Structure formats: C-alpha cells, structure tokens
Amino acid sequence: MNLINDQWLPVRRRSGRRERIAPWELTDGHDSDPVTALDAARPDFQGALAQFLIGLLQTAAAPDAQRGIDWDEWLEAPPSPQQLQELVGPYVDYFELGGEGPRFLQDFDELDDDPKPIASLLIEIPGANTLRNNTDHFIKRGGVNHICPACAAAALFTLQTSAPGGGAGHRTSLRGGGPLTTLVVLDPKGEKVAATLWRDLWLNILPQSHICQLTGNSERAEPAAIFPWLAPTRISGKGGEDTLPEHAHPLQMYWGMPRRIRLELEAPVEGECDICSTASETLLSRYVTKNYGINYSGAWEHPLTPHYIDEKSGMPMPNHAQPGGFSFRHWSGWITPGEARKPAQVVSYFHEHRRMDNAQLRLWSSGYDMDNMKARAWYETTVPLYLLPEGEGRRRFIRQVDNLIDAATQAAYYTRSAVKEAWFSRPGDAKGDTSFIRHEFMVRTEEAFYTLLRESHEVALNGGDEVPLRERWLQRLRSEAERLFEERAESGALDEGELARIARAHIDLRKRLKGNKLYELLGLSKPKKVKTMGVKETANAD
C-alpha cells in the first residue's frame, strides 16, 4: 500500500457519507460536499492521522510565494486534488508500507528478532510482564489479532509519534511518551467560515520561510534527514549516538521514528480487521522490533506541542497529559505565552500572523496520559480560542485569564483541603487520591469560566473594566466551594465527633475563601472592615 496514492484515509463528508480517500483527495468536492472530518476507528488514530496530514502538507505544500502558494488564498479556495497530487508526487516513493525498498516509518534493514503480535503496535496493549503475571484485568489480551494495512499504517504512525518507554533501549517519541498535541481548528458551529478538514489542517501549516526557525538543521536537506527510514537507522546506546537537532532537518519532527519496526507483510491472511471491521485479503498478524533505535535528545521543540520551561535547565520541555485529564486551568498554557510556558509554535504563529476576525476558532488538544509504559487514558477536548493583536489589550487579557485560573486553582485547593480535614482527624497522614475533588470543582465552574473568558475578550477588544468580571468570579468560586464541601463532607451518618470536625473544617474553609489570597490572585482590593454600632462589619460585604 502506498500512503500517498492509495485510498486508505477514513473520512466523513458534510452529507454524512463515509469513505476512504488518498491524501491528495482532501479537497475533492470542497464546494459541494466537502470532507469535514477524519473518521478513524480509534480516537488516538484520529489525532495521529491529523498529524500525518499536517506533516505531509507542511513537507510538500507549505505556503511559499516563490511557488505561488498563498496561505490566505488556499484557506478560502483550496487547491484542486490535481494540484495537491502534483505537490506530493515527489514523495510517493517514501510512503510505501511494504515492498523491497524503504518502508514508511520502518527500519531500513530487515530485523532478526522474534516477531510480536500485531496488537503490540497499539499503545494500550498490555506488555509481556503484564501477560506473564496475568494482570491484564481491564484491557484483555487477544482482542486484536489481525488488522488491515490501513489500520497498521495508522497504528505505526501513532506509536512512532507518541511512543512511550518500552523497556531497555525501546525509545520514546521525539516529544517523550504520549505527548500533548494542540491544533487550531474551526468551530463546526461557526456560521461565517465553514469548517472542513482541509481548513482545519491548513490552519496549522507554517510558511516555508519559517521552517528554518524550528529546531533542527535546515542545511541537512537530503531526504533521509527528513524521513529517517530512507537510510540505516542511527543506532543509539552502546556504540551508538543520540540524535540531536543538528543531526536532522526540522521537518523530521513531523516524521520521527524512535522505534525500530518491520511489519511482516509476507504472509497475509484474509478476513475482517479487528479494529475497523473492514474485509481485507491482506491482514497483518505480526511485526518485528528491535531496541536501540533513534534516541532523540537535546532541545527539540515540536511545533504541534506546547512546552513549559524547566526551572533548573531553563529548557523548553514538552507538555503531556496528566491524571485527571484536561480542564480550563490548562487554557493559558496552551494558548498564551508566559515566563514559564510556550504554546505550540503553530498556535503562537497563528496568534502573531494570522487574522481571521470573522471565524470562530477552537483549539483541539489531545494526548495519552502515560505512566511510563502503561497508558492510563487518552484525553482530548476542544476549547475556545480567542486572539488579540499585540498591544495593551492583549496583555490585559492574558493577565485577566491568568488571574481567573490562578484563583480557581487556589479555591479548588482550599476545597480539597477542607474536605480532607472534615473526613480525617489527621488529614496530613491520610492516604488515597483525593484529586477528584479538585477535578469536580473545575468541572462545576467550567461553564462560568468560559462565559467570563468570552466577556473578558470583549472587554479587552473594545475597552472597559475587567474588575466586575473578577468580582463575579470570586463570588462563583466561593459559592461552588461551599456547595461542593457540603455535598462531600456532610454526607452519610455522622457521630458527634465527626460533626464537630466537619464544622471546624467548614469554618476554616469560609475564612480561607474570604482571606487575602484570593483577592491578591484576582487583583482585587479587599473590602475594609468598618465598625457600626459597636459591631464589626465588612464594607461591601458578600
């Protein structure tokens, strides 16, 4: 199968019709019945295939005045399928899944190791130790035995792009295990600019002139510096060497290949794919892998991933999904720059250089939450994306959003601590994970946050006073914290001692919610206490 010429990508059109297309057919029927979304059988394949297409467009069709490719024009009126086919044509030979020559994302050489079941290409499949110990309680062995070439290609790209640690010498992806990916997309409910798959991909394509600013060595222009499967693998470990940005072209970040893999294509079987249920005469059952493949090291900064600044080294480090999933507290880290955070470069570039005042934009975030080799969860979400031109308005907006999130995080901490103090006589010694309380607090306040976010954006855009919005947020945080505490701490049959402990915890929670900290985080002035008829009262009391 050739991943450029053949129709293997599952998609949906606006009419609801589902089909498979070749990558260059993305714009087929764009004016009548456009392709609106990928239609993969698994959510991680969905995210990986979007990155595959972005990588292909970035490599073969980046906006470039010398080639007559204008980003704005192609966003409005996409190129024809024939134009796209001509642009990706020079890369066809690099995207063969099988055959005698180089194979897409597979080791250049045959590998002499024992074959593994094809299911092990899937990140969540239990490893050898788990199977030996019979501890595959939740994800059972044996569910996937044969998969079609299209699912094999999607699984291969997903693994190479998100590779977790896989034992001695089995390398992680260029961004570590299960990296977070953030993409700019159109709101499907937006009325002014119709959302299509082409546009969602094109929003994340950087101009050709920007590629040399990415990490990597843009002087290494030979094909194998971009597509590492075109040459013998840079072996790592003993006697090998790490792969630093100086050793590869920046575009290799889209085509990273940390794992040494060869699919066994020589003895296919006929039947139904265990992932997508498609009938096929060429189902795959096994593959071979070997350790000590490419070990990406150094200051790689993938353009589709937000980074945080490591306090010790000062280096940007890729973000990963964490237990508890996503909430609005991640919004700033994904979208606005700060001293300790860098949004994905495609997001930053969009913020700085793209103007789509009429479009409703969102940010699609996705990634695996990994515990070393174990996949704990796959998370994905979309959040509103608000942009502002450089200037005081943007600075005020960023400061406002940071204030809202910091105060919510502190209020969630207060609530969680108070519930623990109510539950346990010695809360500091209590074991067990109570992070679900913080998560629940964030979920309950999420709708109010995004309402305030929209209003704050309007204030920053048109001028006005953000203080009333922050005061409203303070009231909401207090009321939700008390409500959640009462539901969690005061449920069930309670004896006298427990009631007293709960009452003390409740009083302390109220004191914290009305203390200085939340006022400081929100940039609000705390009302002064005044005396009225011998009784202390608070001006502008809640």
Residue spans of the domains in the chain: they are: 9-177+205-305, 388-522
Check residue 174 and give its pLDDT: 95
User: From CA 137, how far away is CA 141, in angstroms rounded?
Assistant: 9
Find out whether 223 and 71 touch, Cβ atoms under 8 Å: no
Check residue 137 and give its pLDDT: 56
Element (H, E) at 402: helix 392-423
Residues 105, 109, 110: CA angle, nearest 5 degrees: 105
Check residue 133 and give its pLDDT: 61
Find out whether 513 and 414 touch, Cβ atoms under 8 Å: yes
Find out whether 300 and 174 touch, Cβ atoms under 8 Å: yes
3-state helix, strand, coil in the chain (%, to 5): 40, 15, 40
The list of the chain residues with pLDDT below 50 reads 537-542
Q: Which amino acid is at 376?
A: R
User: From CA 273, how far away is CA 132, in angstroms rounded?
Assistant: 26
Element (H, E) at 393: helix 392-423
Task: Tell me which residue of 147, 148, 172, 150 sits closest to 161, measured CA to CA.
Answer: 172
User: From CA 427, how far away is CA 418, in angstroms rounded?
Assistant: 9
* pTM: predicted TM-score of the whole model, two decimal places: 0.92
Q: How many helices (H) and strands (E) does the chain have?
A: 14, 16
Place of tokens 């600044």: 309
Check residue 331 and give its pLDDT: 95
Find out whether 476 and 445 touch, Cβ atoms under 8 Å: yes
Find out whether 6 and 104 touch, Cβ atoms under 8 Å: no
